[in-house]
Amino acid sequence: MNSMTVLWVGLGGGLGAIFRYGLSVLVNTKSENTFPWSTLTVNLLGCFLIGILWQYLSKSTNLNAFWLIGFLGGFTTFSSFGLDGLKLFNAGAFTQLITYVLISNIVGLLLVFIGTKVADLTLA
């Protein structure tokens, strides 16, 4: 394990977590709904960003470690996705649960695809 790579991952992860917190606070103050808008927003934005950055950074070890593994690893919240899903399930909010899971997964995959295409346009 390369100690510089570990440092880049740690720095990126810390910044990603800070940005995730900031965006979550911003989204939560705008929404009075019990639907997990902040987690959904962070996950979908993270999917879009990883699509773009993966195209640019896949050949650079340090940048890949900082942005893809560190920053986006700290920023995206798939573990929170699971917890929010469980909370909706336990609350009997099955329609919201199904909506949340479908939007997160289908739109997330679509945004990764779109992110790679946006990056391809600028790389060409």
Instruction: Convert the pLDDT of each residue in 52-66 to its tens digit.
Output: 999 998 888 999 999
Mean pLDDT of 75-92: 93
The DSSP call for residue 34 is: S
Is residue 90 scored above 90 in pLDDT? yes
Count of domains for the chain:
1
Is residue 18 scored above 80 in pLDDT? yes
Mean pLDDT of 9-27: 96
- Residue 33 pLDDT level (bands cut at 50, 70, 90): confident
Is residue 31 scored above 70 in pLDDT? no
For helices 78-90 and 37-57, what crossing angle results, to 10°?
150
Alpha-carbon span 32 to 55, nearest angstrom: 37
Which pLDDT score is estimated for 59?
A: 86
User: pTM of this prediction?
Assistant: 0.82
Alpha-carbon span 80 to 107, nearest angstrom: 17
Q: What range does the domain containing 33 cover?
A: 3-123
